[in-house]
Structure 1
Amino acid sequence: MRKKLLSVSAVCLSSSFIYASHPGNHINIILIMADDFGYECIGANGGEYVTPHIDSLAKKGIRFEHCYSNPLSTPSRVQLMTGKYNVHNYTAFAKLERKETTFANLLQEAGYTTCIAGKWQLGKEKDAPMHFGFNKSCLWQHTQKAIDSLRCDTRYANPVMDINGETVNFPYGSFGPDIYCDFILDFIRENKDRPFFVYYPMALTHSPFISTPDSKEWLPVRSSTYKGNPIHFADMVKYTDKLVGHVMNELEKLHLKENTLVIFTGDNGTSSAIISTLNGKPYSGGKGKTIDSGTHVPLIVSCPKGQTGKVNYNLIDFTDFLPTICEAAGINIPAGLDGKSFYPQLKGKTKDIRQWIYCWYAPQQVCDEKATVFARSHRYKLYRSGDFYDVQNDFNETTPIPRQKMTKEQKHIYNSLSKTIDKYEKYAVLRKEKK
């Protein structure tokens, strides 16, 4: 069955593309992002799940302790791909405004060959992936709906996806995550002699919670999107890790590992249906919530000639990925971004470290009045409402600290975070005026 699926993919890979000139000795870049995959899902972070390949990536690279996304899928993806906070450019769930420039656009213009495979959910126009800078694409939820006529999910068993804009219905017994990964492996082989960029927004581990081909009870039938037995979640995590291993093994086989920047992260917190264990204690998924279990995600990076076996405790957020990728590629970082490149940190340098993180979050009713807005440091979080929390000691943010009970240090941090929120309020005002 596997060979049959690859032959189907090969037919769809035959489209020709015009590549820009070779940009010298630029490194290859692979960005892998698991879906609904919180910080607690990685063994190296103290989680209970079996993730040997990702753990190995951490051991040989850098593991970041404080990377924060938005609490939900599309808001995180828009922020990640554009380097801007949602207050600037988020207009609707499952949409990326076509006027935006993504990291793929920038790399493509610099001569990189680019590929995306996995979950799209950013616009149904047939040319959308190409418009946003991807030469090749293998995507679920591109031009087609996320569910079939029986309202069952189409990303896993017997998937429906678009390959380079053309819809393919894969046969019974096929497994979507294998197809996305095989597409990427083929792309890497085809472009091993030129600089490439791979963006791999995985389908795993989003619900439905299904068995995988490695599960004892594997059954290739579709399930309703928000159903499934959470008992299968551990198998989904394990399969996620396996696919990361496939990518790393291919780089090793092709002698590309020493010239490829590999970044692994998750788009937001784990589903609330999942209760995991982190450092020996129960940890409930917080997807959709602005508390840490909804926004704290893994970040593990392997960088050519970078640090190895290190743990980084600096703040990172999703606006930082685009400028980091640009700096790694040796191209100019565009003006007007909110992100800070953490590429120097991969080399052991400590200049221009982020001191705060900002969030504007209104995924469905996209208006400033409905937005949850906050700024945070490592320990403290201030909401636009004025609620101020010590998240280190109040993880679920149940008891805001009143002004009259704040220490001198807390008042100083409160004022600093308040200035950060105020900095972006003018953009919130502009959003209101455009309505």
Structure 2
Amino acid sequence: MTSFRLLSRFIPSILGVLLLSSSLLAQDRPPNIILIMADDLGVETIGTYGSDSYQTPYLDAMAADGAKFENCFAQPLCTPSRVQIMTGQYNVRNYTVFGQLDRSQTTFANLLQEAGYKTAIAGKWQLGKEKDAPQHFGFEESCLWQHMLGATDEEGNDTRYSNPILEINGVPRHFDEGQFSTDVTSDFLIDFIERNQEQPFFAYYPMIITHCPFVPTPDSEDWDPSSPGSPTYKGDARYFGDMVSYMDKTIGKIIAKVDELGLSEETIIIFTGDNGTDQPVVSSFRGRAYPGGKKFTTDNGIHVPLLIQWKGKILPGLENEDLIDFSDFLPTLMDLAKVKIPKEIPIDGVSFYPQLMGKKGSPRDWIYSWFTRNGDLESLKEFARSKEYKLYATGEFYQVKEDWMEESPLAPDELNAEAKKVYKTLSKALDKYENIRK
């Protein structure tokens, strides 16, 4: 009896210790990470940035609930951007050829997986045709278009949207009952999230949409669930707006699922685009005509949205004008996950995690770009830029904030004091990378 009384006296204390330990463990648990990257989607397509052509209510709400970065820049094409965002390095260090990621590289998924994260990727791959490529680069589960297979079927129809052909963990599957790939891939990731919600997870969603061919979505008036896919590469640009809306709606679906599972305060959701909007799309942006600039190094080819939501952690409505480029994502994710980057990996990026928390951080004075589609130096476009100015390695100097189409190069001997100072800074940035590829 005495023993029972003694034990009953200590039970509340024991429970208190257990609850405190559980609370501390919850605080120490790194956040879940969902990284969403739309395909061929420039900043001019998003309402919160000033789009006059499209409605993006879910992304606008994401900005209102979290952070919006005004000056985020990608590479002008998908593979260069994907290599850069996944490795944290400028293409000058590790880019090989279009459609490939060198298997010697370490990605953000490799690092997060090694740190105990469950990992998955869904959407567009185009980074190597080896069957184990996604798993080799750190993704335990995958649902991908253009992994081992090509972009069209035997009849020449595009396989990426209606009744798509996708590869689930390296096994091809033809979804031929009226499915739309955006639904299939987002449902795959949602299932992954539901199954792994008890531990930290990393869900990477390089979306297939809004890349051409421009086609009807299931919300379009003339949607045809029996369509075998577009017979042409470009499709019809009049459907681009429908595709933007469907992309936005799908992101809303993912956010709603995170909220439904009670994970919104444990999950950071990041949205961006891999490069500018494709031609021949012309949008209205902040009251002016804004042509798609995919594959060009002008702002309409590289200026992309960056919206980040983490309820309870990021101050709602936070706006930031610091320079960000795709090399910055890997170090930011590692900061979020409290993962140390191995010293032998040469990271070019700078973490913007402090800015997410409303702190100054380490804002960049410049970003750098080494861009060539196939790795050849003949077509190389190399530049460094600040928010205001841009200097190409070939000598052209532009005030890009005003001259965003780069139509009027500035003469070096006619620069004012501010421009001369920036010119010198950007020259040093170019010099820093001059001998890496040689």
TM-score (norm 2): 0.91
Contact 1:30–1:263 at 8 Å: present in 2 too?
yes
Distance 2:361 2:271 in 1: 23
Map of 1:113-124 to 2, 5 A cutoff? Answer: 113-124=118-129
Contact 1:270–1:286 at 8 Å: present in 2 too?
yes
Confirm whether residue 328 of structure 1 aligns to residue 336 of structure 2.
Answer: yes
Q: For 2:246, give the aligned amino acid.
A: Y
- Counterpart of 2:377? 368
**Which of the residues 298, 316, 322 maps onto 2:324?**
316
**Which of the residues 395, 402, 411 maps onto 1:393?**
402
Map of 1:34-433 to 2, 5 A cutoff? Answer: 34-47=38-51, 48-220=53-225, 221=227, 222-304=229-311, 305-335=313-343, 336-364=346-374, 366-429=375-438
Distance 2:28 2:133 in 1: 28
SS of 2:161 mapped into structure 1: coil
> What's the CA shift for 1:229?
1.5
SS of 2:191 mapped into structure 1: helix
SS of 1:158 mapped into structure 2: coil
- Counterpart of 1:9? none
Q: Please give the per-residue CA displacement for 1:93-116, whole angstroms capped at 9, x wherever unaligned.
A: 000000000000000000000000
Q: For 2:419, give the aligned amino acid.
A: Q
Distance 1:310 1:225 in 2: 42
Contact 2:217–2:242 at 8 Å: present in 1 too?
yes
- Counterpart of 2:36? 32
Distance 1:178 1:209 in 2: 17
> What's the CA shift for 1:370?
2.8
Structure 1 segments of 4 or more deviating over 6 A? none
> What's the CA shift for 1:428?
2.3
Listed as ranges, the gaps of 5+ residues in structure 2 are 1-25
Contact 1:376–1:382 at 8 Å: present in 2 too?
yes
Q: For 2:104, give the aligned amino acid.
A: K
Closer/same/farther in 2, CA of residues 356 and 224 from structure 1, 3 Å limit:
farther
Distance 1:280 1:226 in 2: 30
> What's the CA shift for 1:23?
11
Distance 1:344 1:351 in 2: 5
SS of 2:437 mapped into structure 1: helix
Q: Please give the per-residue CA displacement for 1:173-220, whole angstroms capped at 9, x wherever unaligned.
A: 111111000001100100111110000000110000000001111013
Distance 1:152 1:23 in 2: 50
SS of 1:368 mapped into structure 2: coil
> What's the CA shift for 1:53?
0.7
What's the Cα RMSD here? 1.3
Q: For 2:329, give the aligned amino acid.
A: F
Listed as ranges, the gaps of 5+ residues in structure 1 are 1-21, 430-435
- Counterpart of 1:10? none
Contact 2:122–2:205 at 8 Å: present in 1 too?
yes
Deviates more, 1:405-414 or 1:135-144: 405-414
> What's the CA shift for 1:404?
1.6
TM-score (norm 1): 0.92
Deviates more, 1:366-375 or 1:249-258: 366-375
Q: For 1:284, give the aligned amino acid.
A: P
> What's the CA shift for 1:172?
3.7
Q: For 2:243, give the aligned amino acid.
A: M
SS of 1:137 mapped into structure 2: strand
Distance 2:172 2:434 in 1: 42
Q: For 2:424, give the aligned amino acid.
A: N
Distance 1:181 1:351 in 2: 33
Contact 2:368–2:429 at 8 Å: present in 1 too?
yes
Q: For 2:283, give the aligned amino acid.
A: S
Distance 1:62 1:415 in 2: 32
Contact 2:352–2:361 at 8 Å: present in 1 too?
no
> What's the CA shift for 1:403?
1.3
Q: Please give the per-residue CA displacement for 1:359-404, whole angstroms capped at 9, x wherever unaligned.
A: 000112x133431100000010000000000112212111111112
Deviates more, 1:218-227 or 1:343-352: 218-227
Contact 1:368–1:428 at 8 Å: present in 2 too?
no
Contact 1:138–1:161 at 8 Å: present in 2 too?
yes
Distance 1:104 1:158 in 2: 29
